[in-house]
Structure 1
Amino acid sequence: MKLSAPIRTLTAAALLTTGLLAAPMASAAPTPERPGAAALAAPDIPVADVKAHLSELQSIADANGGNRAHGEPGYKASIDYIKAKLDAAGFTTSVKEFTTGGSTGYNLVADWPGGDEGQVLMAGAHLDSVDSGPGINDNGSGSAAVLETALAVSREQLKPAKHLRFAWWGAEELGLVGSQNYVDSLPEDERSKISGYLNFDMIGSPNPGYFVYDDDPAIEKVFKDYFAGLNVQTEIETEGDGRSDHASFLDAGIPVGGLFTGAGNSKSSAQAEKWGGTAGEAFDRCYHSSCDTTKNIDETALDRNSDAIAHAIWELSS
């Protein structure tokens, strides 16, 4: 998540009910992790597999000067790692180049075959770190969870009603550059086909909160209902307004939603009572720092949010 940006104004189109909620798919049997009515057809996303991707991103940073920032070799190596996984899983991938700050940046876009290409559901995360550290929570966490959800789509051979597209954005830390470049490059008729964009930027904060974007009522409800099924209270996300890649889509009138576990703001006493953790301490004390390593992840938050991503993809694409 980038440091700061002007607060974005919600467009009227983004606030309209979008029809994203189709009739729910058949429920799976309740489990302790996915109880009652919250359990739909989405598979469990193994947190060990998400953490394995984070370990790879850490290794990439370690081998490339300690970061995965725009214009640095660690970023391109991160793109190559994720692309190889998706290619092997049967996705159609493309790497789209752009230039900012005198360096070449890269967006990775992956399409799952099938579904109505007139209705495209997208999920994405920024893949770049700041130059001061490896960026494992910000935003290896979102990137790894979106990757593992995409791989679950392949394993399950999902046949969604809507077309599924996954994306990993470059140069978010420099001002949402990659995602804005992607949206700007789309002809108007292609933009109009995107029925929703889901953004995941920092979902494993070590002192986590459970925040849900409130930009679109239908998408918001899917996430809130999921966490309610886990008996986890949520709050509306405000710390990152306009500061992550969903803003590029929101400004273009595309419905958006997403999840967030907190950055540099401090957890209040009421939030600590609700979620556990330490009041008066930042949600992520290593935000934009060299200590944002694989040790800077809360496994429970990463697990819950990864499963919530899959739940939303399955439900909103049905």
Structure 2
Amino acid sequence: MKLSVPGRATATAVVAAVSLLTGGSIAGAAPAAGPAGSAAEPALAAAPDIPVANVKAHLTQLQSIATANGGNRAHGRAGYKASLDYVKAKLDAAGYTTTIQQFTSSGRVGYNLIADWPGGDTSRVLMAGSHLDSVSSGAGINDNGSGSAAVLETALAVARAGHQPAKHLRFAWWGAEELGLVGSRYYVNNLSSANRARISGYLNFDMIGSPNPGYFVYDDDPAIEKTFKDYFTGLGVPTEIETEGDGRSDHAPFKSAGVPVGGLFTGASRTKSAAQAAKWGGTAGQAFDRCYHSSCDTTANINDTALNRNSDALAHAVWELSE
């Protein structure tokens, strides 16, 4: 999640392979499916369980990348590009059509990674995304390796299941979020109005494994919000409306462009109250993430239960909202 500071970096674009990003069709895309449960189209299966061990394995790789590249995965640094290459290789091997979008911010080159799953109605696109960059002070494993790894593992679960929903699925990993939502803003600003209108929803995942976690749901699009809340209700886990990071993550450019948005969050630098500790566990009077934007945001800075629940909620929303 980006620093809350005045002023935002601007992005100057150099775009590679933008046809997938701004065009209306995807090679191999199928026409819209009939209603779920009809004779032409059987009801879609429920989302699979997302193995938290797989998500944590991605986090281990991101930690190793940071360690080998000056301790961080920040915009314009070698660790960021190595992180992107890691994610891209996994998606390419799984059958995704991947596209790298290049931009410049603060004098350094940055990258967005977009992955399209072949099939589905490209006039109705469901997106799920996360920022892949860290701050320069640390490896950024909760902020935002957690969201990036969960989105990646959900995308891989789509491929393993051979999932073919009615809507077209697109996953994204954003660059330079920590400098002011630069990558996601650039992506949205370079979509035509017609292609913005094709995005039926954008789901954002920024910090979903905080070590002293809360369970926060964005209160933006009502249908997306209900999808997440209903999932957690089914687990017997109470939720609260997310306020700490409102407008400070990559859903904001989509929301400003009129795209329905939603997402999940487990808390950053704010302090967990006694009431929140009573319903969620953890430590009252302590930050949700004491290592926010710090060098201690490593693989030791993750709550496995929160990461597991939020990864499964992510997959549930992708399956549910892509019908």
TM-score by length of 1: 0.90
Instruction: Identify which of 52, 56, 59 aligns with 1:51.
Output: 56
Q: Which amino acid aligns with 1:202?
A: M
Q: Larger RCO: Structure 1 or Structure 2 (Cα < 8 Å, ≥ 6 residues apart)?
A: 1
Count of aligned positions: 291
What secondary structure, in the 3-state scheme, does the structure 2 residue paired with 1:295 have? helix
Does the CA contact (< 8 Å) of 2:208 and 2:265 recur in 1? Answer: yes
Match of 2:303 in 1: 298
Structure 1 pair 23–210 and aligned structure 2 pair: CA distance change class (3 A): farther
Instruction: Identify which of 231, 237, 248 aligns with 1:226.
Output: 231
What CA deviation, in whole Å up to 9, does each residue of 1:108-127 have, x standing for no partner?
00000000000000000000
Whether 1:268 and 2:273 are equivalent positions in the alignment is yes
Whether 1:239 and 2:232 are equivalent positions in the alignment is no
Match of 2:14 in 1: none
User: How much identity, in percent, do the aligned residues show?
Assistant: 77
4+ residue segments displaced more than 3 Å: 22-27
Write the mapping of 1:91-106 to structure 2, written as runs, cut at 5 A. Answer: 91-106=96-111
Match of 2:2 in 1: 2
Whether 1:86 and 2:91 are equivalent positions in the alignment is yes
Whether 1:128 and 2:138 are equivalent positions in the alignment is no
> Displacement of 1:26 after TM fit?
5.5
Structure 1 pair 26–233 and aligned structure 2 pair: CA distance change class (3 A): farther
What secondary structure, in the 3-state scheme, does the structure 1 residue paired with 2:138 have? coil
What secondary structure, in the 3-state scheme, does the structure 2 residue paired with 1:196 have? strand
Match of 1:313 in 2: 318
Q: Which runs of 5+ in 2 are unaligned?
A: 7-34
Match of 1:34 in 2: none
CA distance in 2, matches of 1:222, 1:26: 18
> Displacement of 1:233 after TM fit?
0.1
Instruction: Identify which of 208, 214, 220 aligns with 2:219.
Output: 214
CA distance in 1, matches of 2:160, 2:117: 12
Does the CA contact (< 8 Å) of 2:130 and 2:151 recur in 1? Answer: yes
Instruction: Identify which of 177, 180, 193 aligns with 1:175.
Output: 180
CA distance in 2, matches of 1:188, 1:216: 20
What CA deviation, in whole Å up to 9, does each residue of 1:241-300 have, x standing for no partner?
110000010000100000000000000000000000000000000000000000000000
What CA deviation, in whole Å up to 9, does each residue of 1:211-253 have, x standing for no partner?
0001010000000000000000000000001100000100001
Write the mapping of 1:9-28 to structure 2, written as runs, cut at 5 A. Answer: none
Q: Which amino acid aligns with 2:119?
A: G
> Displacement of 1:23 after TM fit?
6.9
Q: Which runs of 5+ in 1 are unaligned?
A: 7-21, 28-39
Whether 1:153 and 2:158 are equivalent positions in the alignment is yes
Does the CA contact (< 8 Å) of 2:36 and 2:43 recur in 1? Answer: no
> Displacement of 1:181 after TM fit?
0.2
Does the CA contact (< 8 Å) of 1:98 and 1:105 recur in 2? Answer: yes
Q: Which amino acid aligns with 1:197?
A: Y
CA distance in 1, matches of 2:275, 2:87: 38
Match of 1:205 in 2: 210
Whether 1:184 and 2:169 are equivalent positions in the alignment is no
> Displacement of 1:200 after TM fit?
0.0
Write the mapping of 1:242-261 to structure 2, written as runs, cut at 5 A. Answer: 242-261=247-266
> Displacement of 1:3 after TM fit?
1.5
Q: Which amino acid aligns with 1:130?
A: V
Does the CA contact (< 8 Å) of 1:5 and 1:243 recur in 2? Answer: no
Structure 1 pair 163–278 and aligned structure 2 pair: CA distance change class (3 A): same
> Displacement of 1:4 after TM fit?
1.1
What CA deviation, in whole Å up to 9, does each residue of 1:63-97 have, x standing for no partner?
00000000100000000000000000000000100
Match of 2:293 in 1: 288
CA distance in 1, matches of 2:192, 2:302: 39
Write the mapping of 1:106-121 to structure 2, written as runs, cut at 5 A. Answer: 106-121=111-126
Whether 1:63 and 2:68 are equivalent positions in the alignment is yes
Does the CA contact (< 8 Å) of 2:203 and 2:263 recur in 1? Answer: yes
Q: Which amino acid aligns with 2:4?
A: S
CA distance in 2, matches of 1:282, 1:83: 33
CA distance in 1, matches of 2:71, 2:5: 26
> Displacement of 1:5 after TM fit?
5.8
